[in-house]
């Protein structure tokens, strides 16, 4: 296939080469589910001509007897970067940030690069091809892994004996996406996952607008995006939370991505199933941790240990849940591990048919290509010849044919000479044991019990042995005869004398082998998944119950009412009754004697339970939302529950004057993100003022983004609101308009459908923002932090804005020099609705104590102090009709405290959300015990692994990133 037919020849005469082969007597997998025994595979010119039990073989065909061999379609890696190098990242060291795109004539964001054509980047890498051929792959779908929209991929046959003219099967095989930015550009936006999601959405909207011919400019990126629309859409998400995030964006635009997962999909397999996506799953299983040093083993989290144990079960679990997936070598540092890991996955429950499908027909289906991954007539002649079951570690892969061209992996004609032999040399008897596979078969010699130093080689059918017996050398050469049972040849001794030698195979009893086989087929123990899948996760979901709390002191947060010796009945997730001597029929009774019952704490300003906080790439990012990135696995959710917190607002950070939208959640530990976010959630957005948005403390290079002064901040707001107003008017007029997610969001504010919580410190700008809002005829809902609120409390009251503040933080930057702990009390005294918030994962779990500081600083009453963490934040979040106080009909979000809830000495004993107990002091103790036991169990499993000689990895402590407002 070296020269195209119409190419002239100047090196000799034109010769046609035979390209027709028949493989007979083989077990042939035409597809994973269609197996032919003793069949024939006929190929010609790189394609399958026929396959079946009785295939007539035309004259001139080379016939290869494949008796005892198995033929499979070669594997397809649908997610590869074969032959396409990742570009080098442009260094940003000591450079000011870049906010505008570098590319001209393309989209406004450099990370949207659907115009990239991978077929132009492809450089066939023969070495890598060989590596993949060895693993059984015949075709890879490769792409340039760079950017959020990455452009089209290219389908390549791993045919080293050919040229691009033949081996490129499809130069526009798929359209690739990811959440990671391009390395070729330093353009700042997006800095976060939620920014990437927003960018994808806006790009789709803009592409649509462009396709309809509405744009005045030419945009090569959007043109390519529209052109690639009908290609398979392959999204590299990387872990199961991101799988769901990618799927969410796709669904919004009617696109079903094929998702490249992370191998952790088993942790929430029901959610994964609901995406209805086809997955591409890596087989990157972590090594066992080296736990031999107990000091260090302590640092490994149970969740990491579990992952080691559970990861290999991922493919099997997906299969059992009928989630379609292909397997990929992607993510494997050493591609060689692929086969080993695949065998492991099978051992952990993946059935072989699904495994084969995941490597053949499934990837073909993803690529909408029926000519690969099967051996039907007309398909590419890409196939494997093996000694047997391709997933058995003892099987030899002989040949991997690609496009009808042979690639020898292990010579097929090498005899299997393994076994125990009796070796005779000059009347001396030795034991010869030959082990190994193919060309790597090797022998060891013993005389009696004593090992004889020797060197063995087996090549091209010749056996060569050099022996050293106490300094006396004997050299043997010879061949096998009679199948593989006898070998004989010439021996040359120390003095150069020739004689003959022979060896004959001993009959072996196979007991030992069977034993081993039995051991191997045992399914390994996999520890149970919890929700979330970490130490303090729930194995069973907390259930809503009918609960009667008897005889407690009830702080209602309802008009400051305190009810002594009172019962509260929770039913159907609501507060059903409050009174004395309530009937306990059917209820779980909790004795509240000597204890205090309150509404659950609400944190107006939190940054826990999220994978991202700031989208800092623009000065306005109203298009992003924390709801996209809620992280239900954060241990701080549980710790917050232990501090009596039931609801939080996860706010965007304060990197820009107009930040992103909030997620308001209930801390329903164990639920997924959607299960935590409030139904009919009030709509909020974060704004910010002051040093952070001016980037004052970000270093001297951060001086190029507008605004750099408080004066500029005002203009940002007026500009954006003016544009949003004009946008909204145009939209309402019915004229065609370019849908802009950012302006849509801002228009919601003007239309009083979305509320602002604004990070604020200094009185001048607080005053300013109220004036800007008034100009556009809406109100600021909440000033959060608001440490100089006490200076403008009267103006705040007049405007109707609430204040959510720290109890006593100050002095961490210049603008909080005048922050005083009396702030809450002064604002409260002026009639402002005041909440105490945390902005901190540690403080949030003892907001009761922070509320108590308002008594010390400024003399608020106990009930007023308590309101600052219950009903007041509920009011500020527009949730006061549902939660925040103990009142009949409201959500059963309550906390039972061991004593006065404001006291440093009190503990939350039970934290209840929607009538289900999410934290219980006693159950917490049981969880601690369970963690200890499970750690011990996994540690001994890993020790076994280490002692067995498996490679291990050094212990590592998972580092949880804690977010504050300022976190990038």
Partner 1 sequence: MNIKNLYIALCFLFIGNSFAQQTPAPSQTSDVTIEGGTAHLGNGKVIENALIMFSNGKITHVGNANSKIARRGTVINASGKHIYPGLIAANTSLGLAEIDAVRATRDFDEIGTMLPHIRSIIAYNTESRVVETMRPNGVFIAQVTPRGGRISGTSSVVQLDAWNWEDAVMKKDDAIHVNWPNALSRGRWWLGEDPALKPNKNYQKNVDKLVSYIKEAKNYLNGNRNSKSLPYEAMEGLFNGKQKMFIHVGGQKPITDAITVMKETGIKNIVIVHGQEAEKVADLLKSNNIPVVLERAHRLPNLEDEDYDLPFRSAKILSDAGILVGLGMEGDMERMSTRNLPFYAGTYAAYGLDKEKALQIITENNAKILGIDNVTGTIQVGKDATLFISKGDALDMRTNILTDAFIQGRKLSLETHQTKLWKRYSNKYKNN
Q: Site residues (CB under 8 A) for partner 1?
A: 295-296, 298-299, 301-303, 534-536, 635-636, 638-639, 642, 691, 696-697, 790-791, 793-794, 808-814, 817-818, 820-822, 826, 829-830, 841-843, 845-846, 849, 852-853, 855-859, 862, 900, 902-907, 924, 928, 931, 935, 954-960, 962
| Residue 846 vs 875, nearer CB to partner 1 | 846
Bond before 190 cis per omega within 30 degrees: yes
- Nearest distance, CB of residue 858 and partner 1, angstroms: 7
Contact (Cβ atoms closer than 8 angstroms) between residue 810 and residue 863: no
| Residue 211 vs 855, nearer CB to partner 1 | 855
Distance CA 933, CA 538 (A): 16
Distance CA 863, CA 559 (A): 9
| Residue 454 vs 636, nearer CB to partner 1 | 636
Contact (Cβ atoms closer than 8 angstroms) between residue 470 and residue 454: no
| Residue 405 vs 906, nearer CB to partner 1 | 906
- Nearest distance, CB of residue 286 and partner 1, angstroms: 11
CA dihedral 415, 161, 141, 139 (to 10 degrees): -30
Distance, C-alpha 657 to centroid of its chain: 31
* 207 φ/ψ angles, rounded to the nearest 5 degrees: -65, -40
Q: At what angle do helices 193-211 and 240-252 cross, to 10 degrees?
A: 20
Query: Among candidates 782, 950, 954, which has minimal Cα distance to 340?
Result: 950
- Nearest distance, CB of residue 740 and partner 1, angstroms: 34
**SS3 (DSSP) at 138:** strand
- Nearest distance, CB of residue 835 and partner 1, angstroms: 17
| Residue 6 vs 905, nearer CB to partner 1 | 905
- Nearest distance, CB of residue 637 and partner 1, angstroms: 11
- Nearest distance, CB of residue 963 and partner 1, angstroms: 13
- Written as one string, the DSSP assignment of 423-481 is EEETTEEEEEEEESSGGG-EEEEEETTEEEEEEEEEETTEEEEEEEETTEEEEEEEEEE
| Residue 581 vs 831, nearer CB to partner 1 | 831
Residue found under tokens 């997924």? 672
- Nearest distance, CB of residue 341 and partner 1, angstroms: 19
Q: Which residues of 123-134 are buried (b: 16+ CB within 10 A; e: fewer)?
A: ebbeebbebbbb
- Quickly count: other Cβ atoms within 10 Å of residue 951's Cβ: 9
- Nearest distance, CB of residue 922 and partner 1, angstroms: 13
- Nearest distance, CB of residue 189 and partner 1, angstroms: 20
| Residue 91 vs 543, nearer CB to partner 1 | 91
Contact (Cβ atoms closer than 8 angstroms) between residue 890 and residue 575: yes
Q: Which residues face 758 on adjacent strands? A: 687, 783
| Residue 66 vs 305, nearer CB to partner 1 | 305
| Residue 651 vs 841, nearer CB to partner 1 | 841
- Nearest distance, CB of residue 195 and partner 1, angstroms: 19
- Nearest distance, CB of residue 580 and partner 1, angstroms: 28
Distance CA 704, CA 769 (A): 23
Q: Which residues contact 517 (CB under 8 A, 6 or more apart)?
A: none
- Written as one string, the DSSP assignment of 823-890 is HHHHHHHTT--EEE--SSTTGGGGHHHHHHHHHHTT---HHHHHHTTTHHHHHHTT-TTTSSS--TTS
Q: Which residues face 20 on adjacent strands? A: 44
Distance CA 799, CA 815 (A): 23
| Residue 222 vs 852, nearer CB to partner 1 | 852
- Which tokens go with 481? 């005869």
In which element (H, E) is residue 951 found? none
Looking only at the bridges linking them, the beta strands covering 601-606 and 658-661 are unpaired
- Nearest distance, CB of residue 82 and partner 1, angstroms: 21
| Residue 219 vs 966, nearer CB to partner 1 | 966
| Residue 591 vs 794, nearer CB to partner 1 | 794
* 496 φ/ψ angles, rounded to the nearest 5 degrees: 90, 10
Residue found under tokens 């390994």? 524
| Residue 365 vs 935, nearer CB to partner 1 | 935
- Nearest distance, CB of residue 957 and partner 1, angstroms: 4
- Quickly count: other Cβ atoms within 10 Å of residue 683's Cβ: 16
- Nearest distance, CB of residue 305 and partner 1, angstroms: 10
- Nearest distance, CB of residue 140 and partner 1, angstroms: 24
Contact (Cβ atoms closer than 8 angstroms) between residue 327 and residue 355: yes
Distance, C-alpha 120 to centroid of its chain: 30
| Residue 562 vs 962, nearer CB to partner 1 | 962
Distance CA 594, CA 898 (A): 8
Contact (Cβ atoms closer than 8 angstroms) between residue 188 and residue 710: no
Q: Which residues contact 282 (CB under 8 A, 6 or more apart)?
A: 260, 261, 262, 263, 327, 328, 329, 330, 331, 332
| Residue 194 vs 852, nearer CB to partner 1 | 852
- Nearest distance, CB of residue 638 and partner 1, angstroms: 7
- Quickly count: other Cβ atoms within 10 Å of residue 904's Cβ: 10
| Residue 772 vs 913, nearer CB to partner 1 | 913
Distance CA 968, CA 966 (A): 6
């Amino acid at each position: 296939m070296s020269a195209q037919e119409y190419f002239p020849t100047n090196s000799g005469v034109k010769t046609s080469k035979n390209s027709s082969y028949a493989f007979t007597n083989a077990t042939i997998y035409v597809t994973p589910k269609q197996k032919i025994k003793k069949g024939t595979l006929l190929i010609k010119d790189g394609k399958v001509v026929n396959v079946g039990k009785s295939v007539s073989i035309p004259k001139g065909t080379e016939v290869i007897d494949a008796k005892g061999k198995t033929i499979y379609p070669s594997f397809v890696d649908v997610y590869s970067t074969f032959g396409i190098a990742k570009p080098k990242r442009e260094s940003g060291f000591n450079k000011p940030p870049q906010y505008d795109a570098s590319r001209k004539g393309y989209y406004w964001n450099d990370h949207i690069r659907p115009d990239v054509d991978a077929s132009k980047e492809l450089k066939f890498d023969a070495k890598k091809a060989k590596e993949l051929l060895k693993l059984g792959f015949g075709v890879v779908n490769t792409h340039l892994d760079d950017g959020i929209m990455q452009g089209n991929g290219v389908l390549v046959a791993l045919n080293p004996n050919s040229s691009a003219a033949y081996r490129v099967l499809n130069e526009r095989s798929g359209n690739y996406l990811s959440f990671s930015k391009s390395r070729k550009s330093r353009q700042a936006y997006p800095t976060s996952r939620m920014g990437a999601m927003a960018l994808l959405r806006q790009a789709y909207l803009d592409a649509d607008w462009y396709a309809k011919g509405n744009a005045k400019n030419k945009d090569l990126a959007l043109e390519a995006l529209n052109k690639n629309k009908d290609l398979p859409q392959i999204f590299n998400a990387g872990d199961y939370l991101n799988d769901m995030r990618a799927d969410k964006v796709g669904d919004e635009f009617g696109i079903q991505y094929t998702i490249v997962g992370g191998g952790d999909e088993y942790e929430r397999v029901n959610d994964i199933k609901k995406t209805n996506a086809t997955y591409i799953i890596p087989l990157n299983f972590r090594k066992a941790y080296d736990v031999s040093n107990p000091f260090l083993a302590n640092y490994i989290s149970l969740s990491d240990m579990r992952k080691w144990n559970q990861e290999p079960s991922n493919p099997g679990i997906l299969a059992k849940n009928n989630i379609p997936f292909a397997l990929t070598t992607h993510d494997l540092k050493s591609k060689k591990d692929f086969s080993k890991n695949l065998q492991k996955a099978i051992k952990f429950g993946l059935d072989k048919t699904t495994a084969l499908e995941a490597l053949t027909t499934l990837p073909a289906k993803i690529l909408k290509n029926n000519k690969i991954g099967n051996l039907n007539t007309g398909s590419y002649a890409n196939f494997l010849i093996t000694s047997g079951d391709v997933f058995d570690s003892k099987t030899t892969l002989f040949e991997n044919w690609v496009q009808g061209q042979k690639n020898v992996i292990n010579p097929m004609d090498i005899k299997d000479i393994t076994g125990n032999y009796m070796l005779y040399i000059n009347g001396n008897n030795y034991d010869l044991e030959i082990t190994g596979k193919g060309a790597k078969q090797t022998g060891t010699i013993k005389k009696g019990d004593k090992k004889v130093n020797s060197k063995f080689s087996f090549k091209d059918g010749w056996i060569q042995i050099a022996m050293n017996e106490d300094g006396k050398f004997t050299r043997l050469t010879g061949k096998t005869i009679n199948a593989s049972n006898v070998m004989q040849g010439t021996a040359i001794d120390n003095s150069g004398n020739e004689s003959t030698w022979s060896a004959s195979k001993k009959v072996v009893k196979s007991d030992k082998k069977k034993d081993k086989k039995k051991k191997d087929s045992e399914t390994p123990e996999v520890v149970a998944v919890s929700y979330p899948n970490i130490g303090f996760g729930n194995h069973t979901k907390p259930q809503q119950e009918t609960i009667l709390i008897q005889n407690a002191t009830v702080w209602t947060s309802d008009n400051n009412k305190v009810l002594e010796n009172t019962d509260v009945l929770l039913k159907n997730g609501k507060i059903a009754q409050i009174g004395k001597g309530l009937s306990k029929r059917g209820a779980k009774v909790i004795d509240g004697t000597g204890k205090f019952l309150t509404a659950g704490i609400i944190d107006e300003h939190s940054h826990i339970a999220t994978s991202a906080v700031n989208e800092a790439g623009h000065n306005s990012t109203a298009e992003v939302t924390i709801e996209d990135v809620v992280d239900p696995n954060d241990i701080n959710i549980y710790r917050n529950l232990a501090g009596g917190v039931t609801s939080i607002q996860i706010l965007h950070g304060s990197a820009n004057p107009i930040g992103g939208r909030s997620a308001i959640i209930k801390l329903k530990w164990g639920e997924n993100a959607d299960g935590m976010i409030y139904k009919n959630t009030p709509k909020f957005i974060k704004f910010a003022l002051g040093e952070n948005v001016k980037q004052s403390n970000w270093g001297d290079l951060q001086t190029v983004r507008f605004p750099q002064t408080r004066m500029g901040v005002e203009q940002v707001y007026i500009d954006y609101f003016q544009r949003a107003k004009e946008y909204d008017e145009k939209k309402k007029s019915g004229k065609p308009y370019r849908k802009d997610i950012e302006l849509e969001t801002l228009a919601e504010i003007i239309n009083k459908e979305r509320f602002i919580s604004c990070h604020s410190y200094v009185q001048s700008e607080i005053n300013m923002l109220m004036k800007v809002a008034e100009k556009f005829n809406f109100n600021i809902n909440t000033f959060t932090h608001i440490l100089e609120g006490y200076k403008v409390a009267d103006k705040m009251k007049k405007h109707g804005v609430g204040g959510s503040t720290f109890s006593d933080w100050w002095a961490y930057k210049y603008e909080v020099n005048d922050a005083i702990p009396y702030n809450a009390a002064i604002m409260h005294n002026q009639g402002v609705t005041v909440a105490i918030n945390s902005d901190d994962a540690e403080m949030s779990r003892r907001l009761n104590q922070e509320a108590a500081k308002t008594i010390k600083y400024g003399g608020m009453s106990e009930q007023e102090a308590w309101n600052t963490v219950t009903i007041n934040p509920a009011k500020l979040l527009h949730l006061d009709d549902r939660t925040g106080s103990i009142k009949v009909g409201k959500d059963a979000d309550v906390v039972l405290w061991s004593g006065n809830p404001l006291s440093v000495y009190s503990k939350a004993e039970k934290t209840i959300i929607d009538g289900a107990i999410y934290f219980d002091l006693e159950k917490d103790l049981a969880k601690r015990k369970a963690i200890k036991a499970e750690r011990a169990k996994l540690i001994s499993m890993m020790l076994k692994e280490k002692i067995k000689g498996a490679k291990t990895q050094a212990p590592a402590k998972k580092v949880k990133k804690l977010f504050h407002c300022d976190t990038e």
